[in-house]
Amino acid sequence: MSAIANPIVKLDQIYKSFGANQVLKGVSFEVGKGEMIAIIGASGSGKSTALRCIDRLETIDSGSIEVCDIRVDDPQVDLHRLRQEVGIVFQSYNLFPHLTVQENIMLALRHVKRQPRAEALRVSLAALEQVGLGDKAAAYPEQLSGGQQQRVAIARSLAMAPKVMLFDEVTSALDPQLTGEVLRVMEDLAAGGMTMLLVTHEMAFAKRVADRIIYMHQGKVWEVGPGEMLDAPQTAELRAFLNNGL
């Protein structure tokens, strides 16, 4: 893979095991500022683990990770600073049911960023507008569809103004219509220049929107290329994966 000038995310020879199970076996890739990278692969290929290592939700066994000039694998890493630069959205929305949508978003703004209430109100509403939910600020999570809850989770990350956004199979629990809602928000973010890495099973979306696709297989980066690589895979493994999935 050709080197990227001043990558905002850089993984170099990442190894990670859970007990005797080696999940990542020398994973290396770089992401340029403003790039949208889709990571695809079968279950157990290491996709989500690689993503979680970038945000230091998992510690690596060896190798190095740099994100926004922060050395993530440093035992003394400033996690507070890292989490301000990197937002992550999961399959489960993790919203507090007893708080309104806007209060859910304001929580980190008030307690992590120490924003005054008026500022947090303004920022949280702007984030909700960005995901098309400005009219739901006073609603509670249970009053929203799954797609709307996932968009709130995205807004909560956006409100922190991260430089990099990570999405871990955020649509896998949603039906096709709700999936479309969430993917449109992510497409808008990509068009706006947000640096994004997403683990996804949505091949058509990855092909259409991603600048590059990383196919992982058995804990390794197996094949990398633009969306068109899904039409003409170079390896038998990617061909088999696409045939099984379609």
* 176-230 residue pLDDT tens: 888 998 999 999 999 999 999 999 999 999 999 999 999 999 999 999 999 999 9
List the structure tokens of 132: 């098309």
Q: 126 phi and psi, to 5 degrees? A: -60, -40
Which CATH number characterizes residue 118's domain?
A: 3.40.50.300
Residue given tokens 């990558």 in the structure block: 7
Overall domain count for the chain: 1
Amino acid making up residue 100 = T
Q: Whole domain around residue 222: which residue ranges?
A: 9-245
Does 234 reside within a domain? Answer: yes
Residue 49's pLDDT band, with cuts at 50, 70 and 90, is very high
Mean pLDDT, range 135-146, rounded to an integer = 95
Give SS3 for 183: helix
Does 1 reside within a domain? Answer: no
Does 26 reside within a domain? Answer: yes
Does 4 reside within a domain? Answer: no
Query: Buried (b) or exposed (e) across 88-105, using 16+ Cβ within 10 A?
Result: bbbbebebeeeebbbbbb
Give SS3 for 67: strand
Tell me the pLDDT tens digit for each residue of 68-126. Answer: 999 999 999 999 899 889 999 988 888 999 999 999 999 989 988 899 999 999 999 99
Model pTM score: 0.92
